Amino acid sequence: METTPATPPHRLDPAGGCPHADNARLLARGAVTPVELPGGVEGAAVLGHEALREFLQDPGVAKNARHFTALGEGRIPEGWPLLTFATVPGMITADGEDHRRLRSLVSRAFTPRRTEELRPRVAELTESLLDGLATAAAAGGGVADLRRHFALPLPMGVISELLGVAAGFRDRLHHLSSLVVATDTEPGVAVAANRELLAVLGEIAAAKAAAPGDDLTSALIAARDDGGDRLSQQELIGTLLLMIIAGHETTLNLITNAVRALCGHRDQLDLVRSGGASWADVVEETLRWDAPVSYFPFRYPVRDIVVDGTPIPAGTPVLAGYSAAGRDRAAHGPDADRFDVTRSARPDAVRHLSLGHGAHYCLGAPLARLEATVALERLFTRFPGLELAVPEAELAPHAGFVGNSVRALPVRPVP
């Protein structure tokens, strides 16, 4: 009897690169694909929009790494580049009541109302950074790296102020977190970076414990000290790590990708300027069309499951394929590859999944949207002639396959 050969796993390049060509090829084969993670670890990725939406809210899928078979069997080495995603203690790796407990400790700081109260400070910081971008361009022959001088320090500054992290720590935290989330970091470097990052966060927590302030870190420490049953020391550090990384890396990529998209689609930029679409529309279309996170680790089926006709064995580490789902033609139509800022106004528009779905929906989504809309509006108002200083094809892609962006974005900020 003839049998259909199994689909060979897609080997994810640890060095990363633009995901869209691979995504299109993989989606043509199906909504779910087996993947080979770094070190030859077997996994899977859910790529199709509808399959991913259902998978993200499946009660038979967990976030806690005790369900990760290869990890439990001792087959994952200490320096595995994705180990932090699996093992960091906090809401990102918690399920059920533990997840609700940890999420509730920080959720009040990220409600739409509390986020809106930050608008004046975001605007103030944005204007200061635009001054810095102009200064950097003047010193660089008219060219400056927008990612370094604007897209990075804005969200890093905001989340650091929320957490009460002093400015002197920020560059170091970004450098270390970039090494931790990159999938091509050498094992020894990954281990050292993770240890140093935890040590820095421990140093910050100790300083806040000694001198509390009106910030989220101090509030978390108070919860830790409130009988010890609301937050452990490990969970405190894990929560700070999550807040720092998720609080700036995603928005950094979102702003960078939006500027690239608008510079490459001047008709869409003109449409926004003429009132035919809003800056919020630009943000939503960027999230869909060029998601700031490509493959997010991990979820694990607690039993053998079938997703869109594809079996996924219990204990398999599964990636959420956000960039692929954003261009899934089955959900977003035959023009899903086209950047169109009016798309969300269509009667048949499907809401993207790039900030998650279900219980683990991105807690900082309102803040990311606020930062990006303010940043883009002020940027293109201050520099209406802003353009890329190099062709899009020459931009080096982001390191690793988790984040999706470019390493640098040289621009000419033309008034």
Report the Cα 315 to chain-centroid distance in Å: 24
pLDDT of residue 227: 58
pLDDT of residue 231: 84
pLDDT of residue 229: 58
**Mean local confidence (pLDDT), 32-60:** 97
CA distance 272 to 277: 5
**Mean local confidence (pLDDT), 118-146:** 98
| pTM, to two decimals | 0.95
pLDDT of residue 399: 84
From start to end of 30-74, where are the E strands? 32-37, 41-46, 61-62
Q: Are strands 310-312 and 305-307 parallel, antiparallel or unpaired?
A: antiparallel
By three-state DSSP, how is residue 287 classified? helix
Tell me the percentage of the chain whose pLDDT exceeds 70.
98
Alpha-carbon distance values, 268 to 246, 263, 384 (Å): 28, 9, 13
Torsion 328-338-352-376 (CA) sign:
positive
Comparing CA positions, the residue from 220, 246, 237, 229 lying closest to residue 98 is 229
Tens digits of residue pLDDT in 305-357: 999 999 999 999 999 999 999 999 999 999 999 999 999 999 989 999 999 99
Alpha-carbon distance values, 71 to 68, 83, 236, 297 (Å): 5, 9, 23, 14
Q: Residue 175 above 90 pLDDT? A: yes
Tens digits of residue pLDDT in 186-221: 999 999 999 999 999 999 999 999 999 999 999 999
Tens digits of residue pLDDT in 63-106: 999 999 999 999 999 899 999 999 999 999 999 999 999 999 89
CA distance 34 to 106: 35
Tens digits of residue pLDDT in 220-249: 998 887 655 578 889 999 999 999 999 999
**Mean local confidence (pLDDT), 287-299:** 97
CA distance 363 to 357: 11
Token couple for 279: 């800056």
pLDDT of residue 17: 87
**Mean local confidence (pLDDT), 372-396:** 97
Average pLDDT, the chain: 94
CA distance 142 to 145: 11
Q: Using CB atoms within 10 Å of the CB of residue 188, give its burial: 0 to 12 exposed, 13 to 18 middle, 19+ buried.
A: exposed
Q: Residue 2 above 90 pLDDT? A: no
pLDDT of residue 5: 46
Torsion 134-137-142-143 (CA) sign:
negative
